[in-house]
Structure 1
Amino acid sequence: MPKINGNEIRPGNILEHEGGLWAAVKVDHVKPGKGGAFAQVEMRNLRSGSKLNERFRSADKVERVRLEQKDQQFLYETDGMLVFMDSETFEQIELPADLLGERRPFLQDGMTIVVEFHESEALNATLPQKVTCKVVETEPVVKGQTAANSFKPAILDNGVKVMVPPFIAQDEDIIVNTETMEYSERA
């Protein structure tokens, strides 16, 4: 595995540190008046989910890990586990449903997601950036309401609440950004 200097750590990097795999969540470069500069790195453990704040000086060497990414198709959910199938080998794997966190409702039957592996162990799953959902419930359009920066609440078919522009009506399909969990555009 390649070793990088402490000041080369970027958010999203996967690091091997103290015997565990950590994802760099936030990196602040600090230059104190006295002493050498360092990178203050907030990390999340990929296996346990625990957080850790660590200082890395530029002379510190850290091992950067590259995860193998594979497309997996979502089949079904059973006992809090999500079952996925590799689209090339047709092998099935199970991942805990809480791995997706608050983005879990956006997972739809047959959807293809990217699962990241480290030595055949599945560590992370990423949904497509944009997902199409149906608006189940929203307030009717109020005439004369300006479109500039006025949003109204809407409930989607998966139970998630998002803010939508006033021209979106009930039973309309919209595209939601799964990273920000916000309305993106009409479908």
Structure 2
Amino acid sequence: MTETASRARNRRGEGGRLREEIVAAAVELLAETGDERALTLRSIARRAGIAAPSIYPHFPDQPAIMLAVVGTAFAELTEILRAAAAEADSPRARLEAICRTYLAYAQSHPERYRTMFGGLWVPTLESGSVTEEDLAALGKECMGLVAAALAECAAAGVSASTDPAADAVALWLGLHGLAHQRAVTRAFPWPPGIEDRVITALGGLD
């Protein structure tokens, strides 16, 4: 929907649907432009087929919409990682599946991944629409999946980790660094098996 007049009015009690449509419109714009700066209240409203003031009952400002966009992306990534883990048949296979799926997500959704980790959108607390609790919650479930898989590997004796919670953060930092550098340094001659090296070393795998 690109014209304000083309969108039918929600029936009473369907305000939640409009909120979802606003977020979906913002996600579409991000995917098309690859630029967080393109996500203005006016452009998002135009894509959703509504007048800009119709956004305010659902989001007080643009940062609140961006927080919802990022939250939606993390929820999507969490489900993808959970599905990958469910298909694995051993602790080590589960950890490796989670890590490889994470890297694949970053490669297939570069603009979304960049936004998730503070690309041009740098969340601030000044407006009051984004809180420290909001920011702390982002990615918490994803990290929990990594930590749980690493703890399972340690319990099974296939990882040398003695502090899975802390080592999961180190492993994520390695994955994130590789994902980021792949995106910004396309001509770098990556050695064969670089993913294996990162996962094996930082996961403390035998």
Classify the TM-score, shorter chain. Answer: under 0.3
Where relative contact order (Cα < 8 A, 6+ residues apart) is larger, the structure is 2
**TM-score scaled by length of structure 1:** 0.23
Larger gyration radius, structure 1 or structure 2:
1
Higher helix share: 2
Higher strand share: 1
